Structure 1
Amino acid sequence: MAVVGNRRADCEGCGRTVSPEESTTVTMPNGDEVVCCPDCEPHARAAVRTGTAFDQRRATCDGCTGRYLATELEDVVLDDGTALTCCPSCLAQAPDPDGDDDGSDPDGGGATGSRTASHTSTSVPDTDHDRCRQCHERVAEERFRVTTIDGRTERLCSDCTADAEERGIVADVAMRTTRAREVLGVDADASDEAIREAFHRQVKRAHPDRQSGSQSAFTLVTDAYERLREED
C-alpha cells in the first residue's frame, strides 16, 4: 500500500496504521515496495537480505498463550473437534491418547492420535531456541531477552539487540544465563544448591559494607542469581 499525500497507511508487516512521517518504503527482492512502520523496518530489510517472508502480524498460541508471528503458528484439530492455534513447541507437545509417538495409526494409514494438522509442511518448523526473532537468522550464541517499550519480549541476537537499543525502543535487556554463570563462577550443569552456595559467597564479597565490595558489584551478583533462578 503506497502512502499518498498526508494519508495514513497500513504497515504491510504488522498491519498497524502509521502516518507518512513514521512510515518507510522498502523495496523487496521481487521489486515490490512495502510500507513499514519503524518497528517492522528492520524485519523488512532482514527479509531482503535473507530472502525470508516479510509478515510481522502476530497471534496468540492457544497452548502457551505466547505471542508469535502468525506465519509460525499452525492450526490443529483435536479428536474431540476442538480447533487450536499452536506454536511449534506446543504442537509437538500436544497429547496423544493412543500413545503413538509418531502420530500415525497402527495400519500406517495416516495421522490419528489427539490432533490432526489442518495443513502439512515439507519443512521442519523452526523452534524458538536458535533463531533471532528480528532478523530470523540462526545464532550459535545465547540470545538476549529484550523487553521493548511497548511491553513485548523478544529473543534477539547481539546485533539486533544493539540496533534496537540505538533506536531507543528497548526498556530492558535481561542478563544472559552464560553471563550469570560467569559472574557466580558456576558451570552450566551446576545444581540449585551449588548456585545458592556460589551466590552466598559472591554476595558477601560484593556487599557495599565490605571493603572489597560496591553497590554495582552487589547488584551484578544479585541480578546473576535472580537470572539463574528464572531458569529453574
Structure 2
Amino acid sequence: MGVANERREGCDGCDRTMAVGELRTVSMPDGNALACCPQCEPHARSAAEKLEELDTNRDQCDGCREEFKTSSLTDVVLTDGTVITVCPTCIREVPGNTSYSEETRAGTEETTEIARRKNLCSQCHEWCDEELYRVTLLDERTEELCNACKSSADSKGIVLDVKMRKTEARDILGIDHGADDRTIRQAFLTQIKHAHPDRKTGSREAFRLVKAAYDRLA
C-alpha cells in the first residue's frame, strides 16, 4: 500500500522545494516570518539580528540636533529638493507642513534652524544659504555637499561625478533666477547655435555644457 506524499514547500531563501517538516521558521523584526531550509536558516537569523540592531540605532535630528531612535525619525523633502531627517516635534515646523497649528507656532519664541535656512549639507550637517553640490562618490553614494565639503572630497580623490548646479546652469544660459520655461528654451536655442562645434565660436565642450545646462533647468 502506497504512502501519501508529504506536503512540500519552497525555501524563502534559496527557493528549493522540500518537505514542510524540514523547513525552519525565522521571525524578522518587522513581524514577517521566513520559511528556511537548514542551509539558509543561519543566514536568515543573522540578517534578522542585523535588522534588529539597525532598529535600535540612534541618529541625530537635523532640526533640534537631539538623538532619537532611527525608526522614529522621518525624511522630509523641502521645496528646493533638499532632504532632511527630523524628529516628530521638528517635523511640525518644516515650512509648508500644514499640520503645525497656529497655536503651537505662536508659542514658539524662536524660528527654528529648519525654517531659517533651506540647504543642509549631508557631510558636515551645517545649514547653508548657498545651493549644494549633488556629488556621487567612489562608493556610489550620493551626497548633497556645501562648497567646503565638496572641495574636501575633491582633494581626497573620492568624487566620481558632480551634478551641475542650477546656479551654474543659469549662468551658462545667461538667464536670471525665476526664468520661465519659455525664456529658458529661448536662451538654450540661442546659446546652442553659438556653441555648436561647426561654428568658429563653438566647441564640443561648450556644446556639451549648454545642453547639460538646459537639461538641468528644463
**TM-score (norm: length of structure 1):** 0.50
Letter in 2 for 1:73: V
Pair 1:74 & 2:62 matched: no
**1:73/1:87 contact within 8 Å kept:** no
Q: Distance in 1 between matches of 2:122 and 2:92?
A: 14
**2:74/2:88 contact within 8 Å kept:** no
Pair 1:182 & 2:182 matched: no
Match of 1:207 in 2: 196
Q: Which of 114, 119, 132 is matched with 1:126 structurally? A: 114
Q: Distance in 2 between matches of 1:67 and 1:187?
A: 21
User: Which SS does the other structure have where 1:204 is aligned?
Assistant: helix
- Residue 227 of structure 1, CA deviation: 1.4
Q: Distance in 1 between matches of 2:133 and 2:149?
A: 9
| Correspondence 1:8-157 to 2 at 5 A | 61=74, 72-75=85-88, 89=94, 92-96=95-99, 101-102=101-102, 124-126=112-114, 129-157=118-146
- Residue 123 of structure 1, CA deviation: 7.1
* CA distance 1:88–1:53, shift in 2 (3 Å): closer
* CA distance 1:169–1:156, shift in 2 (3 Å): same
User: Which SS does the other structure have where 1:126 is aligned?
Assistant: helix
- Residue 126 of structure 1, CA deviation: 2.6
**2:118/2:127 contact within 8 Å kept:** no
Letter in 2 for 1:143: L
Which has a greater percent of helix? 2
**2:93/2:112 contact within 8 Å kept:** no
**1:146/1:173 contact within 8 Å kept:** yes
User: Which SS does the other structure have where 2:177 is aligned?
Assistant: coil
Q: Larger C-alpha radius of gyration, 1 or 2?
A: 2
Percent pairwise identity: 39
Q: Which runs of 5+ in 2 are unaligned?
A: 1-52, 55-63
User: Which SS does the other structure have where 1:197 is aligned?
Assistant: helix
What CA RMSD, in Å, does the superposition of the two structures yield over aligned residues?
A: 4.2
Q: Distance in 2 between matches of 1:135 and 1:129?
A: 15
**TM-score (norm: length of structure 2):** 0.53
* CA distance 1:187–1:123, shift in 2 (3 Å): closer
After TM superposition, the runs of 4+ consecutive aligned structure 1 residues lying more than 6 A away are: 52-55, 57-60, 66-69
Q: Distance in 2 between matches of 1:171 and 1:151?
A: 8
The count of aligned residue pairs is 152
Pair 1:198 & 2:187 matched: yes
**2:75/2:83 contact within 8 Å kept:** no
Letter in 2 for 1:188: H
* CA distance 1:87–1:145, shift in 2 (3 Å): farther
